[in-house]
Structure 1
């Protein structure tokens, strides 16, 4: 009887093993190169803060220290709008000559008593029409504004309405000046009572030593003509 022998422990051929090792090695090298390129590309990139707890804490800190609300100055805004509409240049004082500046400086150095006596000699200035009277009592300067103290009274038999945005204030050259009226009633009763108010004009619009004028009429009839001119500015 003839027996056939089998070699169960025969190892794979050398070329196949070499090819397998080469494939594994090239795969490792490719992975290493790709990892290095990706790492270099992400340098300098940080992970965003996605923690909701930190965001809530940050918002709570902001709400705990709110900024103070500062409202805009309505009078200043109205003055700027009026000046822009009428083409009023804020640098008009540059028209003064050096001599005028010296005169203004010397007048500012005068004693207060002499200014007071001069004001008393010019005020009050008064006008009336249809038994309605307008009086300028005095002019003073305060907080960057020229303040004209005025009195308004009605000796007639019917109340009179006023819209003080119709008040015209002009300088000696007839140029309009922006002004804000404070304290005067919109309807002036016919009881002869005198009401006191203030006409506020920015000092940057007027030059010391000049004269201004006031023109006021009723609304909506516009029958009254209350005009006061040559109001001295000091």
Structure 2
């Protein structure tokens, strides 16, 4: 029987390819095996915790109970909480107590009222009180004469017991006292920052423009 040359060539090529594949696989396996000699699988467990050795000396993995794990976690959380509480308590006790900054008006009544008179005009300090950053002197004035009297309060002279000149402002005091006037009231305001360690004040006021009246007060207690 005559064999077709094309079929023969095809089978020959297939046989060669199969043989080459088997040879390549065998050769690759041999090379890989030679390269891996002396290499073993690493121990993937970082520590020996959670392991135990059996009778043959080999280590076995020990499974921890869920209750033990929860108990251990709670103990660590409680220990951390106690440490944080102790630190907070220490910081709180070390902090100085905050001071309450309330502006409370106080009234000085010792040796009051203080009265001065010049001719028919009288001036009286009836009270002293603190309000915010100011010291307020409550003042009353009265004219018993038959002529009106004018005042310019920029000429008001206030000094402390150290001889220092004090800047003061007036509120409500009349620029003119009518003849036979009623008792009129107002305030003299002094910044407390200007008083420092002063204990007493002195006041001097003259009429304007004649300056015939000299209303003077000394030793007005402010503390």
Deviation for aligned residue 1:149? 0.2
Deviation for aligned residue 1:208? 5.2
2:218 is aligned with 1:210? no
Aligned CA RMSD, in angstroms, stands at 1.7
Deviation for aligned residue 1:163? 0.2
1:222 aligned residue (203, 211, 216)? 211
- Specify the SS of the correspondent of 1:122: coil
1:187 aligned residue (167, 176, 182)? 176
> Residues 5-24 of structure 1 correspond to what in structure 2 (within 5 A)?
none
Contact 1:207 1:233 in 2 (8 A): no
Distance of 1:170 and 1:159 partners within structure 2: 28
- Specify the SS of the correspondent of 1:220: coil
Partner of residue 175, structure 1: 164
Partner of residue 141, structure 1: 130
4+ residue segments displaced more than 2 Å: none
Q: Note the alpha carbon deviations across 1:13-68, whole angstroms, 9 max, x for none.
A: xxxxxxxxxxxxxxxxxxxxxxxxxxxxxxxxxxxxxxxxxxxxxxxxxxxxxxxx
The higher radius of gyration belongs to 2
- Specify the SS of the correspondent of 2:154: helix
Distance of 1:189 and 1:180 partners within structure 2: 22
Partner of residue 152, structure 1: 141
> Residues 1-234 of structure 1 correspond to what in structure 2 (within 5 A)?
119-207=108-196, 210-234=199-223
Q: Which runs of 5+ in 1 are unaligned?
A: 1-111
Q: Which runs of 5+ in 2 are unaligned?
A: 1-103
Give the structure-1-normalised TM-score: 0.49
Distance of 1:121 and 1:210 partners within structure 2: 12
